């Protein structure tokens, strides 16, 4: 099996299959389908490496990111998606929101 992330971020590879997601809808759906413990484990692994990952990505041309770097970017997007549920709510869903949901109509690029 080939790596999804750049070699420098091999320690995050166990999270790549689940969290390297190209769309907001996929990231949100995965968040909702995850337990608080799963999100916490992912968050705890990625946050200490986030600045390093951003610096790595800033050194590459955004209009021509290699696949492994795009996956790293998507991993960071997923970390952002779980940050508030982990840091504040301690649950995947927005508290007191019932069955409401949202649809993203514009995706970040790349």
| Three-class secondary structure of residue 12 per DSSP | helix
Residue 9 lies in a domain: no
Per-residue pLDDT at 60 exceeds 70: yes
Residue 69 lies in a domain: yes
pLDDT band of residue 97 (cuts 50, 70, 90) is low
Residue 38 lies in a domain: yes
Q: What pLDDT does residue 2 have? A: 86
Residue 1 lies in a domain: no
The domain of 33 spans 18-89
Counting every residue written for the chain, the total comes to 110
Mean pLDDT of 40-69: 97
Residue 13 lies in a domain: no
For the chain, what is the domain count? 1
Q: Which of 79, 81, 57, 77 is nearest to 69 (CA)?
A: 57
Residue 110 lies in a domain: no
Query: How many CB atoms sit inside 10 A of residue 93's CB?
Result: 14
At how many degrees (to 10) do helices 67-84 and 36-58 cross?
130
Q: What is the pTM of this model?
A: 0.84
Tokens representing 54 are: 């951003």
Residue 106 lies in a domain: no
Segments in the chain forming alpha helices (H): 13-19, 24-33, 36-58, 67-84
Residue 105 lies in a domain: no
Q: What pLDDT does residue 92 have? A: 64
């Amino acid at each position: 099996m080939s790596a999804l992330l750049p070699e420098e971020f091999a320690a995050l590879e166990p999270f790549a299959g689940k969290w390297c997601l190209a769309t907001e809808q996929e990231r949100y759906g995965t968040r909702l389908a995850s337990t608080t413990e799963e999100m916490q484990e992912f968050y705890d692994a990625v946050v200490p490496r986030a600045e390093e990952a951003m610096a790595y990505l800033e050194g590459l041309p955004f209009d021509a990111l290699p696949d492994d770097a795009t996956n790293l970017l998507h991993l960071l997007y997923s970390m952002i998606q779980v940050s508030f549920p982990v840091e504040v709510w301690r649950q995947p869903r927005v508290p007191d929101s019932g069955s409401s949901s949202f649809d993203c109509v514009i995706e970040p690029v790349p």
